[in-house]
Amino acid sequence: MLEVGCKAPDFTLQDQNGNEVRLSNFYGKRIVLYFYPRDNTPGCTRQACAFAKSFEEFRNQDVVVIGISKDSVASHLKFAQKYDLPFILLSDPELKAIQAYDVWKEKKLYGKVSMGVVRTTYIIDSQGNIEKVMPKVKPDTNAAEILTYLEDLK
């Protein structure tokens, strides 16, 4: 897990439309960078929809929301279209950002051990530093917790 105060690792990945997106292009704004395991799974869908529902509140606070998983660009596009997701989804099949942000971990499910993305959210300040780390977030409450955190900063 990266620590509060350290520089957020920069990366360039493709979004759901196939455009290259570089994290540092958003410096000057606060960034909510959330890592999730997989498109169209129940928890990931609930989390994405919660961010979509709160998107205007994030935008009104000049906050950029970016979701990252190892799914393909095509998968992200279908996911975004199916649930009308208004924010950026980045495809990281080579695990560049996923490993740089230390969210690729051993997971155990029903006694079976495998590697996968641990649902984690980072808030990055306008200078590109990690402002808050939220490990093992709950999909249903993640967006609301971030909005509460942002409100408390005012």
- Per-residue pLDDT at 27: 94
107: phi then psi, degrees, rounded to nearest 5:
-125, 145
**Model confidence pLDDT, tens digit, residues 82-104:** 999 999 999 999 999 999 999 99
Query: Would you state the structure tokens that stand for residue 76, as one six-digit string?
Result: 């992200």
pLDDT band for position 107 (cuts 50, 70, 90): confident
- The residue assigned the tokens 């919660």 is 50
CA distance 130 to 140: 23
CA distance 1 to 34: 13
Write down all domains in the chain, each with its CATH number in brackets: 12-146 (3.40.30.10)
Collapsed DSSP state (helix, strand, coil) of residue 108: strand
Residues with catalytic annotation?
44
Q: Tell me the average pLDDT of the chain.
A: 95
**Model confidence pLDDT, tens digit, residues 11-45:** 999 999 999 999 999 999 999 999 999 999 999 99
- On whether the CB atoms of residues 32 and 59 are closer than 8 A, the answer is no
